[in-house]
Amino acid sequence: MVINPVKGTHDIIGEEANTYSAIEYNCRIVAELFGYQEIRTPIIEHTPLFLRSVGESSDIVTKEMYTFDDKGGRSITLRPELTAGVMRSIVSNKLYANTDLPLKYFYIGPCFRYERPQAGRYRQFHQFGIEAIGSTSYLQDVEVIALGKRVLDSLGLNKVKVLINSLGDDASRENYRAALKEYFAKHIDQMCEDCKRRLEINPLRILDCKVPEDRPIIEGAPKMKDYLSDEARGRFENIIDALKKIDIEVEIDDTLVRGLDYYTGVVFEYHMSEGDDVGAIGGGGHYNNLLKEVGGPDLEGVGLSFGLERLFYVFSKESNEQIYVNGPDFYLMGMDQFAIEQNFTLANILRGTGYAIDMNYETKSFKSLFKIADRKHSKFAVIVGEDEIKNAQLTVKNLKTQEQTTVKVDDMLMVFQSMLKEYVEELEKGETFNG
Ligand code: AMP
């Protein structure tokens, strides 16, 4: 019986995995440039964590969580996002008590949502994200938005737009919520079942409804910007001005509310400005009450996350940056069983010295071995035939330039070192990227 992958999951293999690694590496470097440290939290958490943080009115909680009882009868959920787990970890480890504020963490890892699989939407996907907790300054919000932009720049993605909105402070949002409730109550009979439920729990969620028939009603709804307190409006303007000063242009989108209930203050998303619309590549926002909500002190925070699958998709389509494809340094080619056994000993020595080595175990013609070495993106092929064995030497071929040299086995380590150095120097001139 063939066992298929679980619907909505995907395998990431070989060169694709290299590209994912390179994207993750870029994200990590940018986060470190901005002073963020890595945090790794468990994939499973107690279900109430997400009910309290992501929110009972969100689609994630109402429809999309992978929740099960473990053998001890505890309700466990596979994390649908990582922010909640980071907050839980800050509380569990009392990080706020013994670390300078703001706490600044970045994460990379898988998330799980029972969504309808489609382009750019999986049931297991991966996120890179950051959280900064414990600063009240608007510049902390600006830093997070700028970090996201820097991630995109570092991947050569420049056809990007940044959408931004403010959900205001608690008082502004209460007034807005009341206005929305009054407005939607008049139209709710014509709206979808989800919106009927949202009206009762959290009318703000209706703004995020994707049902096309509901959109005209939503377009006519009161706008958050008309309900912002002077303070909230001032902060939002400060954020936009500060972004402008560092050359980040934003578009104000007053229907942007994001899919998670915990945001207060600024919210934002990164989209491609041209090409296929795969939805938001990333997004985030400010949250006043999240840490308190999960049992921590009253510290506000701001965060963002990118979907790595979406970054991969737009990177593969839009970016001119090249990803270095890992291959062996040397592919050892033996034409018969004796040569193969000699090569095995050689491989052991070379790997011990730090060279990446691959080799053949089945006898094959040199012609097909060269093809294999090429397909594996090997830098050099090392040929061991009858003559080489007789003379205790190796024939080494640079697979880029096709130059061939003979090397004495005794000199091998030294010569290989200089050959590789030369190869890498060529590569750095930008002419000979593998792949
Ligand atoms: P969110 O945690 O909902 O704010 O989503 C942050 C980012 O995660 C989005 O901008 C997407 O790039 C990505 N994302 C969310 N859901 C999915 C999914 N089902 N499949 C792939 N990527 C996703």
Identify which of 54, 58, 118, 125 to mutate to test ligand 1's pocket (most ligand atoms within 8 A of the CB). 125
Q: Can the peptide bond before residue 110 be classed as cis, meaning omega within 30 degrees of 0? A: no
What pLDDT, on the 0 to 100 scale, is given for residue 324?
A: 67
> Distance between CA atoms of 62 and 196, rounded to whole angstroms?
14
- Is 152 close to ligand 1, i.e. is its CB under 6 Å away? no
Contact present, 106 and 27 (Cβ < 8 Å): yes
Q: How far apart are CA 45 and CA 50, in angstroms?
A: 8
Cβ atoms of 161 and 273 within 8 Å: the answer is yes
What is the distance in A from the centroid of ligand 1 to the CA of 169?
A: 25
Residues 68, 398: Cα–Cα separation, whole Å: 55
* CB of 125 sitting under 6 A from ligand 1: yes
Q: Which residues pair with 105 in a beta bridge?
A: 37, 131
Amino acid identity of residue 175, one-letter, is N
Locate the ligand 1 atom nearest the alpha carbon of residue 80 and give its number.
Answer: 2
* Ligand 1 proximity of 122 Cβ (cutoff 6 Å): yes
| Mean per-residue pLDDT pooled into runs of 10, the chain (435 residues) | 95 92 95 97 97 86 94 97 97 92 98 93 97 97 98 93 92 88 93 89 85 90 91 95 97 84 91 84 95 95 97 89 81 94 94 95 95 94 91 94 93 92 82 39
State the pLDDT at residue 430: 60
Angle between helices 138-154 and 14-33 (to 10 degrees): 150
CB 45 within 8 A of CB 66: no
Q: What is the pLDDT of residue 248?
A: 96
Contact criterion met (CB below 8 Å) for 64 and 264? no
Q: Which residue's CA is the closest to the ligand 1 atom numbered 4?
A: 283
This prediction's pTM? 0.88
Report whether residue 303 contacts ligand 1, using a CB cutoff of 6 Å: no
Tokens 């209706």 locate to 206
Question: What single string gives the DSSP state of each residue in 264-316?
Answer: -SEEEEEEESSS---S-SEEEEEESSHHHHTT--S--EEEEEEEHHHHHHHHH
| Torsion region of 168: left, alpha or beta (phi above 0 gives left; psi -120 to 50 gives alpha) | left
DSSP notation for 373-385: HHHTT-SEEEEE-
The residue whose two tokens read 């958490």 is 45
What secondary structure letter does DSSP report for 207? G
Q: Is the CB of 388 under 6 A from ligand 1?
A: no
> From the CA of 283, how far away is ligand 1's center (Å)?
8
Cβ-contact 135, 167 below 8 angstroms: no
- pLDDT value of position 84: 96
pLDDT at 119: 86
Encode burial over 349-388: b for 16+ CB neighbours within 10 A, e otherwise. Answer: ebeeeebebebbeeeeeeeebbeebeeebbbbbbbbeeeb
Q: Is 307 in the pocket of ligand 1 (CB under 6 A)?
A: yes
